[in-house]
Amino acid sequence: MPGLIHELDPAKIAANLEAARERAGTAVEILAATKYVPLEEMGALAEAGVKLVGENRQQELEAKHEHWGDAFAWDFIGNLQSRKVKRILPLCRLVHSVASDSALEQLGRHGRADTEVLIEVNVAGEEGKGGVAPADLGAFISRCPAQVTGLMTMPPFSLDPEDSRPHFARLAELAAEHGLVRLSMGTSQDWPVAVEEGATIIRLGTALYV
């Protein structure tokens, strides 16, 4: 797979993690996005003190979870395909990306009473991008059979982190309107702005590894 990150340096990851923690504050969870981290390199994250990881694909989640198990808490942060819900739920403490009625149906079939999810919101209204429209959020939450405790968003890509600010601010407004406490927003290029706008989980990749 192109873009895989090999030969991770635990000392560098630990230093980057500590710097992010100092800037983000204790109320923010730092999730290490492991989409491009090979299974055999996951040990470098554990050695560096990473506690929470997020995987994008069901197959990689299963393989890494089988090998590393309790070394981490596991979240699912990728596109949630309804046919894979059954296999993802038992492995994760939290799914960040619920956004379709077909996923809701599978959550109803395979979720537990304590299943916790975040709803992905397409705050910017981008064509062809996943996520629930802000105007439809209330009705979508009311149909969700799992416990909805927060929201997630991916703003349009930009080289300027400030371009993400209005989208993060809007997600925070939506969460407050619906009494939700978790906000999964902010990645390596814009996470400080996300923290300023109320993020409770930031999803970091290259900001930790490079």
Tens of pLDDT along 116-134?
A: 999 999 999 998 888 999 9
pLDDT of 62 over the 70 cut: yes
**Helix H or strand E segment including 69:** none
Give me the domains of the chain, ranges plus CATH numbers.
10-209 (3.20.20.10)
What's the whole-number average pLDDT of the chain?
Answer: 96
2: pLDDT confidence band, cut at 50, 70 and 90? Answer: low
d(CA 147, CA 33): 23
What is the value of pTM for the model shown?
A: 0.95
DSSP helix/strand/coil, 8? coil
Tens of pLDDT along 135-181?
A: 999 999 999 999 999 999 999 999 999 999 999 999 999 999 999 99
